[in-house]
Amino acid sequence: MKRTEAREYLMQLIFEMQAQKDLSEYAIRSFADDTVGEDPEREYFDRACAAYTEHKEEIDAMIEGALKGWKLRRLPRVDLAILRLAVAEMKYLDEADVPDAAAINEAIELAKKYGDEDSARFINGVLGTISRS
């Protein structure tokens, strides 16, 4: 599995967690075991997932601070999941492992695949604001 696939699975997990309001260790481990298994990218998946779950409130505050005329609750759920993943990578993982530019680029690609026609541009703008701050 490539890092891109692991990132996509992580975005799906974050989407599921926000829909089900379940951040339990059991739900996370069960999802990871079923999708990522013992793949070499499991270590990245686990670190990125921990960064999100441990810093969810700070991540949401950064996203909300970068929004212009929007509130978190109004964002499409898939866009919010992508933003949360990217901010977790940018702010809570080692820059050498995941440079901001890589996190932003991968988020844009996820938005093109899962979001609507405006998602990629919107996500690029929000993440650019967060990266510069």
Banded model confidence at residue 132, pLDDT cuts 50, 70, 90: very high
The pLDDT tens digits for 17-42 are 988 887 788 889 999 999 999 888 99
DSSP codes joined into one string, 67-88: -SS--GGGS-HHHHHHHHHHHH
- pTM, entire model: 0.94
Residue 43 neighbours by CB under 8 Å, 6+ apart: none
Mean pLDDT of 64-88: 94
The pLDDT tens digits for 77-120 are 999 999 999 999 999 998 777 899 999 999 999 999 999 999 99
How many other C-beta atoms are found inside a 10 Å radius of the C-beta of residue 43?
Answer: 11
What integer pLDDT is reported at residue 70 of this predicted model?
83
Task: Kindly report the backbone phi and psi dihedral angles of residue 2, in degrees, each rounded to the nearest multiple of 5, phi listed first.
Answer: -90, 160
The 3-state secondary structure of 89-121, one letter per residue: HHHHCCCCCCCHHHHHHHHHHHHHHHCCCCHHH
**Regarding the domain with residue range 3-127, which homologous superfamily does it belong to in the CATH classification?**
NusB-like (1.10.940.10)
Task: Output the CA–CA distances (angstroms, integers) from residue 17 to 7, 49, 71, 86, in the order listed.
Answer: 15, 11, 19, 16
What integer pLDDT is reported at residue 12 of this predicted model?
96
- Which of 97, 124, 76, 87 has the alpha carbon at shortest distance from 10? 87
d(CA 130, CA 62): 7
Tokens of 2: 């490539």
Tokens of 105: 């680029």
